[in-house]
Amino acid sequence: MITRISADKLPELLRRISEQEKLYIPVDKSEKVSVYEEYAPGKVMSTKLNTLRSAKDFFFPQVQPMAKFRMEGKKIEVIDTRRESEDYCIFGVRACDVRSFDVLDRVFLADPVDTFYENRRKHATVVSFACSEPSETCFCHSFGIDAAKPAGDARMWMANDTIYLEGISEKGKALLEKLDLAALDAVTDEKAEKDVEAEQRRVHEIQKKMPLYSLTPADNREKELEIFHSPIWKELSDKCLGCGSCTFVCPTCQCFDIEDFDSGHGVERYRCWDSCMYKDFTMMAAGTPRKTQLERFRQRFMHKLVYYPIRNDGMYSCVGCGRCLRRCPIHMNIVKVMKAMEEDAQCETKN
């Protein structure tokens, strides 16, 4: 059931959501950059394709306090700093980032459940936003994601000066029901369905003309494990600076470190994002298990394209958002890796 509303009612729609729960929307910060911010009257929702940092920050923030310790002599008191999150809505999440939540769920909600992540995840209502103008750096299609029909608790399309809304989960439907859309002259009819179908067809036609449309990840898992020993990794990783930018903008990267900070009034334990591209990543008393940048580089891409799908019913740990294509200072990225893996597999077959 799809409901249509005039697009000029978007500010009022956002205001009504913010009356129900805390609301976060993407807002423009410059010509090219948008970020998520808490909604306030007057803030305009960005229609850019991707926020600079992905929406994973809501569930897995860059810095997460975990506990405090108060010490008196030899006595140590452990203070649990966890608090139940309030309900909140993340509005305007693109299809690729919504899929990234599935990827993260399989890591953080698997036994043993990460209660910090679970707390933020279960209180969120995700309203996704279908893409109308996919960019040349997008390749979500390669991983079976439909940019014109995103998942989430509810989804929105914007076309023909009209907003189209559809509830998906019980949580999403309940939120839409609370908004009294009838008062915004909303109409739920066959025209809304037909308009959305036409919009989806239009977007799919655009995607077919995109340079990365035919990019596909290899899916012969046994063969892919053999690629671990391929010479492609040397050439691909040679120029990698190990800066970690690709991991920090990636919506599916989930590595973290846990550290203790002595504030002078006690010790605070927190976790923060880490990067498998760093040479001190997973450092142990005996040293680091991956001593060269080649090994670290290979690990990142083998994990996304081979190890993760092997363990997760074929689901890839890349969603084709294109952020790493735009951020890497040496223009290395997962697309180049996928193409090299494909070429390597074809050479092997010929030999």
Which neighbouring-strand residues pair with 187? 4
Q: Provide φ and ψ at 154, rounded to 5°.
A: -150, 160
Q: Does 318 bind ligand SF4 (CB under 6 A)?
A: yes
N-term to C-term CA, the chain: 54
Work out how close the CB of 247 gets to ligand SF4 at its nearest, in angstroms, rounded to a whole number.
Answer: 7
Supply 39's token pair: 């909604």
Cβ proximity to ligand SF4, 158 vs 243, nearer residue: 243
- Type and span of the H or E element at 192: helix 190-208
Cβ proximity to ligand SF4, 242 vs 266, nearer residue: 242
Supply 193's token pair: 């369905």
Q: Does 244 bind ligand SF4 (CB under 6 A)?
A: yes
Q: Does 321 bind ligand SF4 (CB under 6 A)?
A: yes
Q: Does 147 bind ligand SF4 (CB under 6 A)?
A: no
Q: Which stretch in 30-38, 186-194, 221-229, 234-242 sits in contact with ligand SF4 by CB under 6 A?
A: 234-242
Instruction: Please report, for the chain, how many H helices and E strands are present, in that order.
Output: 12, 12
Q: Which stretch in 20-28, 68-76, 196-204, 247-255 sits in contact with ligand SF4 by CB under 6 A?
A: 247-255
For ligand SF4, the binding residue among 55, 332, 337, 341 (CB under 6 A) is 332
Work out how close the CB of 152 gets to ligand SF4 at its nearest, in angstroms, rounded to a whole number.
Answer: 17
CA 28 to CA 36: how far, in whole Å?
9
Q: Provide φ and ψ at 211, rounded to 5°.
A: -60, -25
Sign of CA dihedral 332, 336, 341, 344: negative
Q: Which stretch in 10-18, 36-44, 115-123, 317-325 sits in contact with ligand SF4 by CB under 6 A?
A: 317-325
Cβ proximity to ligand SF4, 92 vs 322, nearer residue: 322
Cβ proximity to ligand SF4, 152 vs 244, nearer residue: 244
For ligand SF4, the binding residue among 119, 132, 135, 245 (CB under 6 A) is 245
Q: Does 140 bind ligand SF4 (CB under 6 A)?
A: no
CA 129 to CA 163: how far, in whole Å?
10
Q: Does 322 bind ligand SF4 (CB under 6 A)?
A: yes
Question: At 318, which amino acid appears?
Answer: C
Angle between helices 95-108 and 115-122 (to 10 degrees): 140
Query: Which residues in the 249-288 window bind ligand SF4 by CB under 6 A?
Result: 249-252, 277
Q: Which stretch in 65-73, 205-213, 221-229, 315-323 sits in contact with ligand SF4 by CB under 6 A?
A: 315-323
Core vs surface per residue 46-69: b (16+ CB within 10 A) or e: bebbbbbbbbbbbbbeeebeeebe
Cβ proximity to ligand SF4, 14 vs 332, nearer residue: 332
Q: Does 324 bind ligand SF4 (CB under 6 A)?
A: yes
Q: Which stretch in 178-186, 238-246, 281-289, 336-344 sits in contact with ligand SF4 by CB under 6 A?
A: 238-246
Q: Does 334 bind ligand SF4 (CB under 6 A)?
A: yes
CA 345 to CA 308: how far, in whole Å?
19
Work out how close the CB of 249 gets to ligand SF4 at its nearest, in angstroms, rounded to a whole number.
Answer: 6
The count of residues interacting with ligand SF4 (CB under 6 A) is 25
> Which positions lie near ligand SF4, rule CB under 6 A?
240-246, 249-252, 277, 304, 318-324, 328-330, 332, 334
